[in-house]
A and B are shown apart, each in its own frame.
Chain A
Amino acid sequence: MDKHVIVEGVGGSRELLLGNEAAVRGALEAGIGVAASYPGTPSSEIGDVLSTIAGAAGVYFEYSANEKVALEVAAAAAACGVRSFTFMKHVGLNVAADSFMTTAYIGTKAGFVILTADDPSTHSSQNEQDNRYYARLAGVPLVEPSNPQEVKDFMVASFDISEQLGMPVLFRTTTRISHMRADVVFGDRRPAVAKGEFVKDAKAYVPVPANSLRMHVQLLARMDEARRLSETSGLTRVVDIGQQPTIGIVTAGSAFNYVMDALEQMGASARILKLGFTYPLPLDRIREFAGTVEQLLVVEELEPLMEQEIKADFLSHRIATPVLGKEDLQISRAHELNVDIVTKCLGRHFGIAVTDAAAATVKAWPSPLPLRPPVLCAGCPHRGTYMAVRRAIRELALPEPIFASDIGCYTLGISAPFSAADYLLSMGSSIGIAAGFDVAQDRRVFAFIGDSTFFHAGLSPLASAVHNKHRMVVTILDNRTTAMTGHQSNPSMLTGAAGEPAPAISIEAVVKAMGASFVRTINPYRVEDATAAYREAIQADGVAIIVAKQICSLLLDRAKRAKGVWQTFRVDAERCTGCLTCIHEAACPAMYVAQGHAVINQDLCDGCSVCSQVCPEHVIEVKR
Chain B
Amino acid sequence: MTSVNIFFAGVGGQGIITGASLLARAAVALGMKAVMSEVHGMAQRGGSVVCELRLGNVQSPMIPDGQASIIIGFEPVETVRSLRKAHSTTVIVTETRPIVPVSVSLGGTPYPEVADLLAYLRSQVADVYAVAAADIAEGLGMPQSANVVLLGAALATGVLPLSREILEQTIAATVPAKTVDANMRALAAGIAGSRRS
Contact = CB atoms under 8 A, between A and B. Distances in A.
Contacts of B41: 41-42, 44, 123-124, 484-485
A123 B103 CA distance: 20
Interface in B50-97: 58-62, 64-67, 77-78, 80-81, 83-88, 90
Nearest to B20: A181
A189 B147 CA distance: 37
Interface stretch (A213-221, A338-346, A442-450): A338-346
A311 B143 CA distance: 59
Contacts of A343: 64
A357 B84 contact: no
Interface in A571-612: 580, 583-584, 587-589, 591-593, 601, 603-604
Interface string B105-120: 1101111100001001
A399 interface: no
A513 interface: no
A217 B85 CA distance: 54
B24 interface: yes
Nearest to A376: B45
A415 B28 CA distance: 42
B59 A261 contact: yes
Contacts of B134: 603
Contacts of B108: 370-371
Nearest to A48: B40
Q: Interface majority SS on A: helix, strand, loop or mixed?
A: loop
Contacts of B19: none
B40 A375 contact: no
Contact of A358 (B1, B84, B99): B84
Most buried by A among B46, B61, B85, B100: B46
Nearest to A355: B66
A369 B21 contact: no
Contacts of B37: 176, 179-181
Contacts, number: 210
Interface stretch (A24-32, A164-172, A252-260, A451-459): A252-260
Given A358-B84, A363-B124, A369-B77, A16 B109 contact: no
B15 interface: no
B25 interface: yes
Interface in A385-409: 409
Interface residues of B, number: 64
A1 B117 CA distance: 36
Nearest to B120: A365
A18 interface: yes
A16 B38 contact: no
A416 interface: yes
A357 B65 contact: yes
B120 to A, nearest CB: 6
A124 B44 CA distance: 10
Interface string B138-152: 000001000000000
A179 B83 CA distance: 23
B83 A592 contact: no
B12 interface: yes
Among A356, A369, A583, the one with the most B-chain Cβ atoms within 10 Å of its Cβ is: A369
B39 interface: yes
A573 B94 CA distance: 30
B46 A375 contact: yes
A409 B42 CA distance: 7
Nearest to B101: A372
Given A44-B41, A124-B41, A370-B109, A358 B66 contact: yes
B47 interface: yes
A592 B100 contact: yes
A181 B42 contact: no
A12 interface: no
A456 B60 CA distance: 35
A481 B112 CA distance: 38
Nearest to B111: A370
A415 B110 CA distance: 18
A210 interface: no
A147 B99 CA distance: 34
A182 B35 contact: yes
Interface in A235-254: 254
B101 A179 contact: no
A362 interface: yes
A254 B59 CA distance: 9
Interface string B4-17: 00000001110000
Most A-side CB within 10 Å, residue of B84, B110, B112, B143: B84
Nearest to B29: A16
A180 B36 contact: yes
Nearest to B110: A370
B47 A264 contact: no
Task: Report, nearest first, the 9 A-B pairs whose CB atoms are least far apart.
Answer: A358-B66, A357-B66, A41-B41, A124-B41, A374-B47, A257-B59, A361-B88, A257-B60, A374-B45
9 contacts: A16-B25, A16-B28, A182-B36, A183-B28, A183-B33, A338-B60, A358-B65, A370-B108, A417-B106
Interface of B: 1, 11-13, 21, 24-25, 28, 33-48, 58-62, 64-67, 77-78, 80-81, 83-88, 90, 99-106, 108-112, 117, 120, 124-125, 134, 143, 174
Given A365-B81, A369-B81, A415-B102, 7 more contacts: A124-B43, A176-B60, A180-B36, A181-B61, A361-B88, A588-B102, A601-B100
